């Protein structure tokens, strides 16, 4: 049975930031979140440019290899920005996206950095991405307990991102698609401040994707987030009708297509 996505994104600058470096888009054929890497220049431009360039690649349901090519083309565009303006050297963004693939029969999960993807299926909640981060490496090596990761002072030091380099790392994996599944894609402004148990409970108790995304963002702000906060909630539905979207959020809504030069 062909499937489509019913998705909504909510992005908030947060009470302690002057710019929103998170970007997101939602459509019936895909959804994604990107988070400009802190400490580098123009993180808002990096996340917005990547999202817009990727969306401009079209709605055709790709296989994993085709999606990887599209992401690398979008990443090359980030490099083009830097080549035109050396002051942007070092700008980069995380990326986590979910796309309908396999002629509408499967899902493709793309990931680089520490923005996360979660799956709620039949009451079971699981993290579906692995953080590309210094702290995750410590956890994997047994040098840090998993429960200590959220409070580690270097938890935001990432080991992979997209910044226009040929060696930038991104993974694309194929996932089975079941009608009724709910996915969450979010920036670390959510996950650094909310326990996964609270995230799971809210996703399970809230019917509409937009209401769930808004509630997660509000809860993270209430919890004292120091970062931008973006949540994309995506329900897997039986296909019915023409493709819809894209709708842009965060910096991708500020830097709309005509404002982001593409190479």
| Strand pairing report for 95-101 and 30-35 | antiparallel
Residue 189 lies in a domain: yes
Give the pLDDT of residue 261.
45
Q: What mean pLDDT comes out for the span 98-102?
A: 91
Residue 248 lies in a domain: yes
Per-residue burial over 142-164, b if 16 or more Cβ lie within 10 Å, else e, is: eebeeeebeeeeebbebebbbbb
Residue 195: is its pLDDT beyond 60? yes
- What is the rounded average pLDDT for all residues in the chain? 88
Dihedrals phi, psi of 178, to nearest 5 degrees: -115, 130
Comparing 238 with 160, which gets the higher pLDDT? 238
Six-digit token string for 170: 């991104």
Structural domain that includes position 39: 3-257
Comparing 73 with 156, which gets the higher pLDDT? 73
Give the pLDDT of residue 138.
75
Tens of pLDDT, residues 59-85 = 766 789 999 999 999 999 999 988 999
Place of tokens 């565009």: 77
Comparing 10 with 39, which gets the higher pLDDT? 10
Are the beta carbons of 128 and 118 closer than 8 angstroms? yes
Residue 262 lies in a domain: no
Are the beta carbons of 230 and 30 closer than 8 angstroms? no
Residue 263: is its pLDDT beyond 60? no
Residue 11 lies in a domain: yes
Residue 45 lies in a domain: yes
Q: Please report, for the domain that includes residue 60, its CATH number.
A: 3.60.40.10
Residue 262: is its pLDDT beyond 60? no
Domain count of the chain? 1
* pTM confidence score: 0.91
Give the pLDDT of residue 257.
52
Residue 97 lies in a domain: yes
pLDDT range class, residue 102, cuts 50, 70, 90: confident
Residue 66 lies in a domain: yes
Tens of pLDDT, residues 161-177 = 999 998 999 999 999 99
Report how far apart, in Å, the C-alpha atoms of 185 and of each of 14, 39, 189, 201 are. Answer: 18, 23, 12, 16
Q: Is 56 exposed, middle or buried (0-12, 13-18, 19+ CB in 10 A)?
A: middle
Give the C-alpha separation, 226 to 31, whole Å: 25
Give the pLDDT of residue 184.
98
Dihedrals phi, psi of 215, to nearest 5 degrees: -65, -40
Residue 133 lies in a domain: yes
Give the pLDDT of residue 186.
98
Give the pLDDT of residue 260.
46
Give the C-alpha separation, 170 to 65, whole Å: 12
Give the C-alpha separation, 124 to 199, whole Å: 12
């Amino acid at each position: 049975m062909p499937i489509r996505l019913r998705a909504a994104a909510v992005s908030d600058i947060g009470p302690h930031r002057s710019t929103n470096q998170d970007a997101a888009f939602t459509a019936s054929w895909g959804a994604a979140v990107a988070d400009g890497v802190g400490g580098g220049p123009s993180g808002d431009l990096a996340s917005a440019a990547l999202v817009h360039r990727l969306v401009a690649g079209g709605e055709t349901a790709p296989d994993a290899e085709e999606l990887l090519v599209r992401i690398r083309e979008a990443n090359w565009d980030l490099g083009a920005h830097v080549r035109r303006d050396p002051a942007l050297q070092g700008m980069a963004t995380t990326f986590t996206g979910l796309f309908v693939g396999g002629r509408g029969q499967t899902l493709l999960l793309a990931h680089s950095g520490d923005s996360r993807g979660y799956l709620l299926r039949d009451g079971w909640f699981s993290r579906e991405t692995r953080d590309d981060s210094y702290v995750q490496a410590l956890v994997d090596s047994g040098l840090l307990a998993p429960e200590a990761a959220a409070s580690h002072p270097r938890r935001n030091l990432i080991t992979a991102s997209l910044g226009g380099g040929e060696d930038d790392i991104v993974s694309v994996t194929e996932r089975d698609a079941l009608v009724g599944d709910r996915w969450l894609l979010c920036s670390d402004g959510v996950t650094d401040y909310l326990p996964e148990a609270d995230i799971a409970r809210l996703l399970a108790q809230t019917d509409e994707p937009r209401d769930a995304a808004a509630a997660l963002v509000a809860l993270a702000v209430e919890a004292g987030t120091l970062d931008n906060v973006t949540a994309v909630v995506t329900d897997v539905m039986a296909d019915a009708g023409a493709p819809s979207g894209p709708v842009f959020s965060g910096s991708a809504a500020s830097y709309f297509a005509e404002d982001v030069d593409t190479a």
